[in-house]
Structure 1
Amino acid sequence: MDILLSLPIASYFFSSSVTSWSTSLNLIFFYMTWSTLVLTHSPIQIELIGTTAIRLAFWLVPSLLFLLFDNLLPSVAESIKYNGASALPPRDFKSLSRLLALAIFNFGLETAVEGCLSLGLSILFKQPVFRTSTTLPLPWQMIKQLALLFTLREIFTYYTHRYWLHGTPPPAPPSALSKRIKLPKSPRPRYLPSLHKSYSHKYRSPPFSLQVKIDHPLPFLLHRFLPTYLPALILRNNLHLLTFFVFLALTTIEETLSHSSYTIIPGVIMGGITKRTCMHYTGRKQGNYGTWGVLDWVHGTGLGKRDVWDDVRDEASKHQLRERGEDMMDEAGGRVEKALRRSKRNLNRNKSGRRGMSNKRGKGWLVDDEEDDGEGDWVP
């Protein structure tokens, strides 16, 4: 418990709400807390306690709050849910207790599997899986690594979800190639789609947030745990543990909101992800296997009239990106034009000054005037 309370991420976020410290003091306090945590605990302890705290804070607690809201105020929840009353979770205690028990079991299972993998790999390579040091990652480096992690996660999620959990056959090879080369059969286990369908898709209705971890343990690990943990393992030599914590927090928030089925999810892109998730659970036709919808758009497995590019255009229109870009271009053009005028004025002044020094006539000198006409004036 002392490790959970001493997590620097929690202290960093709560310090600004409790006190009136500035951002710089928060960063100093965050660095001191993180350094103390690294120096007093092993990397595997920090990883497991950190990931558990993130999943508790961003999945379990919000999911229970959403579940309580849906059951206490069903008429209000129905009005802000996709498909209305069909999106409400079961209300009988027996069904809810079974679903909650399965979700908590999978929650503990992924923590145990992550601990075993991290411990085994650290013993095998004689170093921690993730870089755990007092040196904090640079912001630009963190942004690049997060972009790569989300890209790899989307790839793993789409192909695992489509070909392994829904049993979609892979695309047929060209006829000429299939005649010459006898391709082996797909190694997809046949029982995975039935397990995933009987647990995760038991109710043909929009999901609720607790349903993120409601699945058979084997499909759950393939669908939720491995697409998040494997990309981090690929970048483990250069990946800081704090970057992995940020990546895990963002993915957990995304899954919790996208499975809530609420129509009031903020953001056009996040709202689009939520709508595509609901269509995946309720659609008669299989599709929407990915999270962001990019690979569904590429492979033609998207459901509905809208795709990810419609969400991007709506988001750009919402924030007036085009108008802001035009204003920035106009402002940049004005600055360039002003700089050219200034350089031309300085050049004319230098030429006029040289003419005045070399053309002395009586008591007058040729000097530059205030007007930008390229000629000088005679003054006594």
Structure 2
Amino acid sequence: MVSYNPACYLPQSWSSQLPNAIACPPPPSYFSTAYTYATSPFSSTYNTLRTMIDALLGLPMLSFLLIPTFSSYSTSLNLLFFYLTWSTLVLSHPPLRVEIVATLAVRTLFYILPSTFFLLFDALLPSAAESLKALGDTALPFKNASRERTMRTLRVLGWSVLNILLGVTIQALVEVLFTRVLLIRSALRVTTALPLPFGILKDLARGYLLREVVTYVLHRYALHESKNSLSRAHNEWYHSLSTPFPLAGTYDHPLAYLVRSFLPTYLPAVLFRFHLITYVIYMAMVSLEETFAYSGYSTVPTNFILGGMARRTDTHMLCGGDGNFGPWGLVDWIMGTSVGADVLDDVVAEADKHDVPARIDKMKSKAGKKVNGKIEDAKNVGGRRRTRRRSSS
């Protein structure tokens, strides 16, 4: 904020005689003005991002989800600090800036940076990475690669990042269309009120379910079974990759990427009008899903979920898109378009891995023994009562 200085309204001859402490400062130069205009968006964006990260990191997510059930003094205090930080962030910055910066931060922290780390690991330590890859050295794009293949891989990585920026740009344009052209409420809720834990879980569940259905329909019928320029572009771009590798999850023709990935992910958030905090959690889960599904590693965290997704992604690319159109494989299993192991096979394999049938039989035997013991005790009590009655008579 610019302070008021009465000395600036005095004649120049008078102002020149005043001490420097109270004299009117000279106007800023054109270079200084241009520099301020050029850097102010970046500085404000950085401050927004820093405040948002401080707010999110200051709240234990598990405690937040369990507040209604297991509340404690420390949990309530953390929630209070988070609410104050979040309210300050929302009230001090435009909602559009908060939404776009949050989306970029999530995509960077949970997709671009981890995928880049995996890619550098594959490039710098190919022998160690090869033993971890499900498809061996064929999933190492830089191993023994010619100059032409290396340049092509770099172009793939560049288009992957550009597609992410394209999706964020479309998201910003949708918000501008809703709020400034159509004069209706925003696509996402950016408010100081925090969403309830049950509301977060409900939105995530129905958002993921709708995303699975929309992804399957668009991926199968618009990009594979239709004979149009968009499906040809998808086949020439995305399916030109022989195997998946880190950062390849967002590689595709820009229009095909919007249809295959961005629209199925963003549409549920708009239809159910997610709160921004819910949307941040949702995008973080989607980003981690894409990171590990396209990592190419045979062992990933939560191998039952992410491992099955990674195997279905590998199979989809290896078979040229003949099946496995959905990310989770649920609709593929229902529609009979699964290629290789389906989601039911993953459930059976996970059950066998943890020896679930033996555990169930063991629990049944324990329960049977307890029931038999209760019956025997009841019989013994009845027998003792009859003996007492006979002796008393």
TM-score, length basis structure 2: 0.72
TM-score, length basis structure 1: 0.74
Change (3 A) 1:88 1:13: farther
Distance 2:194 2:364 in 1: 33
Change (3 A) 1:318 1:47: farther
- The answer to whether the Cα contact below 8 Å between 1:59 and 1:256 also exists between their aligned partners in 2 is yes
3-state secondary structure, aligned to 1:6? helix
Alignment match, 2:324: 288
1:259 correspondence with 2:294: yes
1:107 correspondence with 2:142: no
- Unmatched 5+ residue regions in structure 2? 1-45, 64-72, 378-383, 389-393
Change (3 A) 1:134 1:299: same
Deviation for aligned residue 1:147: 0.8
Alignment match, 2:51: 6
Letter of the 2:56 partner, please give it: I
Deviation for aligned residue 1:63: 1.1
1:269 correspondence with 2:305: yes
Change (3 A) 1:317 1:372: farther
Distance 1:141 1:372 in 2: 57
- Unmatched 5+ residue regions in structure 1? 169-187, 342-370, 376-380
- The answer to whether the Cα contact below 8 Å between 1:82 and 1:206 also exists between their aligned partners in 2 is no
3-state secondary structure, aligned to 1:45? helix
Higher fraction of helix: 2
Q: 1:131 pairs with 170, 184, 189, which one?
A: 189
Q: 1:221 pairs with 258, 264, 268, which one?
A: 258
Identity of aligned residues (%): 40
Q: How does 1:71-150 map to 2 (within 5 A)?
A: 71-90=123-142, 91=145, 92=147, 93-123=150-180, 124-150=182-208
Alignment match, 1:211: 248
Change (3 A) 1:325 1:56: farther
Change (3 A) 1:50 1:303: same
Q: 2:223 pairs with 154, 165, 168, which one?
A: 165
1:201 correspondence with 2:239: yes
Deviation for aligned residue 1:130: 1.8
Deviations, residues 225-284 of structure 1 (Å, cap 9, x unaligned): 100111111111xx3221111111111110111011100112222111100100111125
Deviation for aligned residue 1:372: 9.9
Letter of the 1:282 partner, please give it: L
Deviation for aligned residue 1:329: 12
